[in-house]
């Protein structure tokens, strides 16, 4: 039997940093496209239009994540594991493509059948139901396209992966944005359909170029074990995203009912900016960190090593990124959105600091799954974490308005970090290493200082202090990461 453990260098600081840069660069393409699209929506449609766009997109994302059954990550793992066996690889690809197509059809059908109810939930009226019917096409293309992208990820064909993702999104953006200008808010859903169609088309083309054609005779009954394996893996992995998307939809609906569409737009703008900004770092968690963690899950010493190194690197990376977002929040809002969105600056700064706690806690969230404790993973990450987010967001908004949403995100990530650490310490005996604790402490202290400086009444003094703390923390993080890069030991 072949040893499935990763080679020692795969868990080295150098390799973790290298993979973070590769996958982070890949994520940057997606972020840039989304930022450009968000800029056009903000300028052409304004806050109310962005609120309408948010209600459509959160509904679309919720259906995508539920209907896809988490198969995308399961496909990545299975395709990657079969790369050295051409016959098995062709069979896995054929199975994955059929399953993703079936999931895409299911998602589209559910969207069409529930269109009147979705319209009532999102807008309080059934008058938008035909737009939700059309949204079913975007659901289909998104799920099918995600399947093709997942297979490219599993094949590790980075060149075609980047090309498919970036070119497809860029062409979709170029075709879709004029619809905002021509039709206003009526162009939101057609633009989304065109965008997802273009992404799917380029991804499918790239996958066929990478894999070539196959003449295998496919039979469902011969692949029941593989289908069951993909479904079980996918269902566990999608639980958090699915419940999170539903909670996000409910949060937006709550903001619309108790506040206004403008507040929905403000919240969505700040939330999407922070999530996409952090995605440059966090995208490695599922694409690189999770497979490595699973491979050492039975070895407590190696598991602690993998988790601690990931947490340490994420903290050092997030320290300057979060500080820079706090410092340049007004400029970022002005460049990426519009002057009418300047009200989100205080909320955005709180959300930026919240990312530090998320960086500290995110590696801990996967330990239960890696140890095959699906029940603990589901209740801790899928149910508990998402319900906490929903309750804090709605409660803080009612108490403090828009800035309360920033406070909610900060409290949410801090509480999750504390709970994750307490649970993993009790159940698995996990402890942070001294190096990880130093990184966590440095990131927390710097984030707190930069945030506190932003509240200094004198603007000149505030920016001087924020700049000083950001520069000091950034230099410290850079020196530490440079030192880690030079370490070759696993």
* pLDDT on residue 81: 67
Contact (CB, 8 A) for 108 and 139: yes
Contact (CB, 8 A) for 203 and 167: no
* pLDDT on residue 489: 46
**How many Cβ atoms from other residues are within 10 Å of residue 94's Cβ?**
16
Q: How far is CA 87 from CA 192, 211, 212, 225, 334, in A?
A: 37, 12, 13, 16, 53
Cα distance between residue 351 and residue 43, in whole Å:
23
Contact (CB, 8 A) for 390 and 251: yes
Cα distance between residue 362 and residue 377, in whole Å:
13
* pLDDT on residue 487: 67
* pLDDT on residue 1: 34
Measured at the alpha carbon of residue 280, what is the angle toward residues 407 and 207, in degrees to the nearest 5?
A: 135
Hey, where are the domains in the chain?
Answer: 14-239, 259-490
* pLDDT on residue 4: 42
Name the token pair of 165.
């993702």
DSSP 8-state symbol, 337: S
Name the token pair of 164.
């498919």
Name the token pair of 292.
């490595």
**Of the candidates 440, 307, 432, the residue with the CA atom closest to the CA atom of residue 16:** 307
Model confidence over 33-47: pLDDT tens digits? 777 777 777 788 887
* pLDDT on residue 326: 94
Taking CB atoms within 8 Å and a gap of at least 24, the contacts of 162-165 are 162/25, 162/26, 162/29, 163/202, 163/206, 164/199, 164/202, 164/203, 164/205, 164/206, 164/207, 165/26, 165/29, 165/30, 165/199, 165/203
DSSP assignment string, 188-218: HHHHHHHHHHHHHHHHHHHHHHHH-------
Cα-to-chain-centroid distance, residue 139: 18
Residues with Cβ within 8 Å of 143's Cβ and at least 6 positions away in sequence, in order, are: 64, 67, 68, 100, 103, 104, 107
Cα distance between residue 441 and residue 447, in whole Å:
10
Contact (CB, 8 A) for 230 and 74: yes
**Of the candidates 356, 335, 314, 377, the residue with the CA atom closest to the CA atom of residue 23:** 314
Diameter of the chain measured on Cα atoms? 72
Under-70 pLDDT residues of the chain:
1-11, 23, 26, 29, 81, 156, 158, 169, 212-218, 286-287, 291, 294-295, 487-490
Handedness of CA 396, 61, 147, 281 (dihedral sign): negative
Name the token pair of 98.
């059929």
DSSP 8-state symbol, 223: G
Secondary structure element (H or E) that encloses residue 72, with its range: helix 71-81
Q: How far is CA 221 from CA 104, 225, 230, 235, 275, in A?
A: 21, 9, 15, 21, 41
Cα distance between residue 157 and residue 279, in whole Å:
21
Name the token pair of 102.
């079936």
Burial label, 232 (beta-carbon count in 10 A; 0-12, 13-18, 19+): middle
Residues in the chain: 490
Q: How far is CA 318 from CA 13, 48, 52, in A?
A: 16, 32, 32
Contact (CB, 8 A) for 75 and 103: no
Cα distance between residue 262 and residue 113, in whole Å:
29
DSSP 8-state symbol, 6: P
**Of the candidates 334, 379, 328, 388, the residue with the CA atom closest to the CA atom of residue 357:** 388
Cα distance between residue 365 and residue 375, in whole Å:
13
């Amino acid at each position: 039997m072949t040893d499935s453990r990763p080679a020692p260098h795969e868990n080295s600081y150098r390799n973790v940093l290298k993979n973070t840069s590769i996958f982070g660069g890949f994520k940057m393409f997606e972020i840039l496209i989304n930022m450009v699209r968000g800029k056009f929506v903000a300028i052409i449609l304004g806050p109310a239009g962005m609120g309408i766009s948010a209600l459509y997109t959160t509904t679309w994302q919720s259906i995508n994540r539920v209907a896809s059954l988490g198969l995308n990550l399961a496909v990545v793992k299975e395709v990657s594991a079969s790369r050295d066996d051409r016959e098995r690889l062709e069979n896995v690809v054929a199975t994955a493509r059929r399953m993703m197509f079936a999931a895409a059809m299911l998602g589209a059908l559910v969207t069409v059948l529930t269109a009147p109810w979705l319209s009532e939930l999102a807008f309080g009226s059934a008058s938008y139901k035909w737009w939700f019917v059309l949204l079913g096409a975007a659901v289909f293309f998104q799920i099918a396209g995600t399947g093709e992208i997942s297979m490219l990820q599993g094949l590790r064909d980075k060149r075609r992966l980047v090309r498919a993702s970036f070119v497809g999104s860029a062409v979709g953006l170029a075709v879709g944005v004029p619809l905002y200008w021509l039709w206003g808010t009526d162009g939101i859903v057609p633009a989304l359909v065109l965008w997802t169609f273009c992404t799917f088309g380029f991804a499918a083309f790239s996958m066929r170029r990478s894999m070539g054609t196959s003449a295998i005779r496919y039979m469902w009954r011969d692949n029941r074990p593989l289908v069951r394996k993909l479904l079980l893996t996918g269902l566990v992995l999608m639980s958090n995203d699915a419940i999170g998307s539903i909670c996000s939809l409910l949060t937006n609906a709550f903001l619309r009912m108790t506040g206004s569409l403008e507040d929905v737009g403000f919240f969505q703008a700040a939330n999407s900016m922070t999530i996409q900004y952090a995605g440059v770092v966090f995208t490695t968690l599922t694409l690189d960190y999770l497979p490595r963690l699973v491979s050492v899950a039975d070895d407590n010493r190696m598991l602690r090593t993998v988790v601690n190194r990931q947490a340490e690197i994420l903290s050092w990376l997030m320290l300057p990124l979060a500080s820079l977002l706090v410092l340049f929040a007004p400029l970022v809002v002005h460049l990426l959105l519009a002057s009418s969105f300047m009200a989100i600056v205080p909320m955005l700064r709180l959300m930026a600091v919240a990312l530090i706690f998320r960086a500290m806690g995110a590696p801990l969230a996967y330990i239960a799954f890696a140890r095959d404790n699906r029940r603990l993973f589901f209740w801790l990450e899928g149910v508990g974490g998402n319900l906490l987010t929903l309750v804090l967001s709605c409660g803080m908004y009612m108490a403090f308005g828009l800035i309360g949403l920033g406070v909610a995100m900060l409290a949410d990530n801090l509480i999750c970090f504390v709970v994750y650490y307490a649970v993993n310490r009790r159940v698995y005996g996990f402890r942070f290493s001294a190096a990880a604790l130093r990184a966590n402490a440095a990131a927390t202290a710097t984030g707190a200082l930069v945030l506190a400086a932003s509240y200094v009444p004198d603007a000149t003094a505030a920016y001087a202090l924020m700049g000083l703390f950001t520069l000091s923390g950034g230099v410290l993080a850079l020196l530490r990461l440079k030192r880690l890069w030079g370490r070759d030991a696993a």
